[in-house]
Amino acid sequence: RKAQIGVTGLAVMGANLARNLARNGYTVALHNRSSEKTDALLEAHGSEGDFIRTETLQELVDSLESPRRILVMVKAGGPVDAVIDQLVPLLDKDDIIIDGGNSHFPDTIRREKDLAEKGLHFVGVGVSGGEEGALNGPSIMPGGSAKSYESVGPMLEKIAAKAEDGSPCCAWISTDGAGHFVKMVHNGIEYADMQVIGEAYDLMRSVANIEPAEQAEIFKQWNTTELSSYLIEITAEVLAQVDSKTGKPFIDVIVDQAGQKGTGRWTVQSALDLGAPITGIAESVFARALSSSNSAAREQAQKGFTDGLIATTGVATADPEFVEDVRRALFASKLVSYAQGMDMLSIAGKEYGWDLKLDTIASLWREGCIIRAELLAEIMEAYKDEAPANMLLAPAFNKLMEELVPSWRRVISKAVALGIPVPVFSSSLAYYDALRRDRLPAALIQGQRDYFGAHTYKRVDAEGDYHVMWSDDLREVNAEDAHV
């Protein structure tokens, strides 16, 4: 018998995807660089489905039906190239290598091009949902050629999470690195989503003295509102946890320095290249960096910057109106994060030549992934027919924002007055306000740029580019005539 798909790299993600495939009726060939992981998987879960054990890549290749499908789940970066280099001489034309790890999309573009020249298919697949999702149904974002999707699509759709309407959270995104790009933006939104929840928690704790256990109940209740999402759900669980060693709230024994593996950083780096204004997402990445990069500075500043605002005026009792204001501010900021992510996708699609269907992408995030949320069904609707110029301008969201804005402003004013940092709440509001402002100080920046660098400016009342002879007689000249 031959296997329909092979998996190489059997750490948590690879092992769970292999099990998911086998549970769905596929014969799965297993391979890992060192065979301990293969044996451990077979021993613990070999009875779950039809597996073929292989020890070398040659054996893996020989065990597969043609055209071969090999899912590579090794450590992102160099190891993916190493495995590809070892596989290529063993493969035949039209075989398909699938990279389901967290690869950076420029690497995926490069690998796809290299392999296409060799007559092979390379499919970069974004997979979200962590270990649990990999086993029970992740959200899957495949790139690569449309032709290769004909072969791998049905399998991926089968193992993907299913949305409420039964449709799989997996669909072809677009060519080469598009799948990994979309997964990267997903992670950027995830960073912002987590940070705004953190800011809401901090405000309720610092302004209204609401203890973690009580907040757990609040988040549980919020999870029955339009905020309903996986991240709100797990926040309630984390806040309810009590440290077994000290009896303190679990959150109070965790060092307040956030880690990151790098996908959020990639999102921001890529946004800078694209000129995509994902301000909230960027602030959320920087908030993690600020928490952890210079603990000596934080320690000294706690003693050195002593305006003492929180201590003197911050304490108020839990007020239901304040809590509702925080909930609304959180929701508004969350909407902005998603709007920025969608905007970045739309800019990237044009830049990289990907025909990204934003409604489809939103639909894939409805289940299985970390940012799964009820909101995504509405985002999907908003992009269904004609894409709005910005997600917030879709009629449903436009109206919603109007309802949320007063609470949002009240909460941020309070935070600023009390000295509580709310970087994503406040930068999201600034983004919203900048979008709606009739005149931005960008006009002054254009004037300054023309002054020091003859960078020229456009007029509100005429076509063309202009320049003022700043160091001469202050005459305005047409840039073309003046050759600037």
Residue 73 makes contact with ligand NDP by CB under 6 A: yes
Comparing CB distances to ligand NDP, the nearer of 74 and 379 is 74
Piece in contact with ligand NDP (CB under 6 A), picked from 77-85, 139-147, 168-176, 233-241? 77-85
Rounded Cα distance, 186 and 183, in Å? 5
- Known binding residue 78? Answer is no
Rounded Cα distance, 152 and 95, in Å? 11
Residue 184 makes contact with ligand NDP by CB under 6 A: no
Rounded Cα distance, 331 and 327, in Å? 6
Piece in contact with ligand NDP (CB under 6 A), picked from 31-39, 198-206, 426-434, 463-471? 31-39
Residue 326 makes contact with ligand NDP by CB under 6 A: no
What are the φ/ψ torsions at residue 269 (nearest 5 degrees)?
A: -60, -45
Residue 33 makes contact with ligand NDP by CB under 6 A: yes
Residue window 420-459: x/- pattern of binding to ligand NDP, with contact defined by CB under 6 A: ----------------------------------------
Comparing CB distances to ligand NDP, the nearer of 57 and 400 is 57
Residue 32 makes contact with ligand NDP by CB under 6 A: yes
Which one of 3, 5, 7, 13 is in contact with ligand NDP (CB under 6 A)? Answer: 13
Residues 6+ apart with CB under 8 A from 459: 466
Rounded Cα distance, 246 and 118, in Å? 60
Residue 231 makes contact with ligand NDP by CB under 6 A: no
The active-site residue out of 190, 199, 283, 378 is 190
**Range 184-216 burial, b when 16+ CB lie within 10 A, else e:** bbbbbbbbbbbbbbbbbbebbbbbbebebebbb
What are the φ/ψ torsions at residue 401 (nearest 5 degrees)?
A: -60, -40
190 annotated active-site = yes
Which one of 1, 34, 259, 312 is in contact with ligand NDP (CB under 6 A)? Answer: 34
214 annotated active-site = no
Rounded Cα distance, 175 and 171, in Å? 12
251 near 258, Cβ under 8 Å?
Answer: no
Comparing CB distances to ligand NDP, the nearer of 13 and 21 is 13
Residue 130 makes contact with ligand NDP by CB under 6 A: yes
Side-chain-side CA neighbours of residue 218 (13 Å) = 23
Residues 6+ apart with CB under 8 A from 402: none
Residue 90 makes contact with ligand NDP by CB under 6 A: no
Which one of 40, 82, 253, 417 is in contact with ligand NDP (CB under 6 A)? Answer: 82
Q: Which of 73, 130, 62, 117 is nearest to 98 (CA)?
A: 73
Rounded Cα distance, 128 and 140, in Å? 7
* Residue 72 tokens, joined: 């590579």
Active-site residues, by number, are 183, 190
Binding site for ligand NDP (CB under 6 A): 9-14, 32-34, 37, 73-76, 79, 82-83, 101-102, 127-130
Binding site membership for NADP(+): which residues? 9-14, 32-34, 74-76, 102
